[in-house]
Amino acid sequence: MPSCWVNALVRCVIHALSPSVSVPRERARESRTLLRFFAPALLFLGLVAATVFAQAPNGGAAPRSVSDPQAADTKGDEGGSIMLRWTLSPDDSAGQVTGYEVFRAAKPDGPFKSVGFASRGSARFADGSTDDDSSYYYKIITTGPGGSTETAVIGPARSTAEWFNSNRANVLVIGLLISGAVLYYIASAKKGKKLFIRRIAGLEAVHDAIGRATEMGRPILYIPGIQDMDDVQTVAGVTILGYVARTIAEYDTKLEVPTSRSIVMSTARETIKAAFLSAGRPEKYSDDMVNYITDEQFGYVAAVDGIMVREKPATCFYMGAFFAEALIMAETGNSIGAIQIAGTAMPAQLPFFVAACDYTLIGEELFAASAYLSNEPRQLGSLKGQDVGKSIAMLAIAAGTALFTLNQILRAEWFASAGQWLKNLFIVN
């Protein structure tokens, strides 16, 4: 008989899931009757079992509350945050705690509102939504399957902004080291010390590319990326534009700079104007050299492609931050036979420039370009100083790697501790 019920139930389920499976009408009716009886029974049994099993671990008792709760300003931040700390509930490790809910109020007598939840095993919570001018009161509620218990009211606590973030002292020290090196080398270069810069092929070609455009009597197209002036790549692109514009002024070639940001347009105009002035050709400068197209990425690239195929520039420069438009522009430039020099620090776009352009400045080379091209002491010293930063990185990586490797081979705890200490020096908080 039980097997008969089971069969009937299975058939009924199959029928429900797949209406195309034919079930005799009588059997289907039998199955529905059985389901009507079994469904509420199974539901009731399930509820009973869930209640019994849920209360089993702690026998239904609420977990004990946390002890020694404290609320104080988060140290070394810019304000707007209060840190709450406590000693875990004695029931935390026994699995009778699901977490700690933090409630906040502006007055000690409430009303308290939940501001967040710290999971089991966590003994602190940062409330990052505070106003520096206000006092706050907190309650920590320990929750578990058996209920919840709350602490007494904690507070008042106020958040304040600090001048220095002590957690970021390592950033300060390394920043000072690199800045010191930059200043030292700038001073050395100014005193006349010759600073060596290795050859960068893409930049060697800049002169030839401008010369080619001059000989062919065709314009030069300069794209300073599609980001605003708050992107260092755009800053680098506009700085290189200054050098290119100066050479163009000397060669008397036509320059076109379509931009996708209004502030980049203003900066580019000022840069080119200054370059033409320093080349002794201020009368050759015109605001029409730099145009704003649109902020819209693909609208911009559609217009630039149009300029390329209609005006057929002999040389195209792409220096700055680029996204999906990089390949579209570089391919169009390639199709019109322009000599193309690109430079960007966008890892996803570099492959396209490498494939479609004659020369590509990869990442850091873009930032080194202005120093390389201008040969100016300040910029050369800055470049040399940056190399000091790279030396620090190489030494630290080599030392840390050696210590961790020795620990693996010799199994000596000292190497692991020393390696970890060194690694911690470069943690960013």
* Closest separation in Å from C-beta 10 to other proteins: 36
Q: Is 247 helix (H, G, I), strand (E, B) or coil?
A: helix
* Closest separation in Å from C-beta 26 to other proteins: 41
* Closest separation in Å from C-beta 228 to other proteins: 9
Q: How many residues does the chain have?
A: 429
Q: How far is CA 82 from CA 65, 134, 140, 202, 329, in A?
A: 21, 11, 14, 52, 50
Q: Which is nearer to other proteins, 10 or 171 (CB)?
A: 171
Q: Which is nearer to other proteins, 23 or 302 (CB)?
A: 302
Residue 205 tokens, joined: 């070609």
Helices marked H in 348-376:
350-356, 364-374
Classify 37 in phi/psi space as left (phi over 0), alpha (psi -120 to 50) or beta. alpha
Alpha carbon distance 74, 162 (integer Å) = 9
* Closest separation in Å from C-beta 425 to other proteins: 9
Best CA proximity match to 80, nearest among 115, 114, 109, 108: 115
* Closest separation in Å from C-beta 198 to other proteins: 6
218 near 313, Cβ under 8 Å?
Answer: yes
Alpha carbon distance 38, 59 (integer Å) = 30
Alpha carbon distance 267, 273 (integer Å) = 10
* Closest separation in Å from C-beta 96 to other proteins: 35
The radius of gyration of the chain from alpha carbons, rounded to an integer in Å, stands at 35
* DSSP code, position 340: E
Q: Which is nearer to other proteins, 157 or 342 (CB)?
A: 342
* Closest separation in Å from C-beta 299 to other proteins: 4
Q: Which is nearer to other proteins, 113 or 198 (CB)?
A: 198
* Closest separation in Å from C-beta 336 to other proteins: 10
Q: Which is nearer to other proteins, 56 or 176 (CB)?
A: 176
Q: At what angle do helices 232-251 and 262-278 cross, to 10 degrees?
A: 40
Q: Which is nearer to other proteins, 220 or 293 (CB)?
A: 293
Q: Which is nearer to other proteins, 126 or 328 (CB)?
A: 328
Q: Which is nearer to other proteins, 95 or 306 (CB)?
A: 306
Residue spans of beta strands (DSSP E) within 74-129: 82-87, 99-105, 113-119, 124-127
Amino acid at 201: A
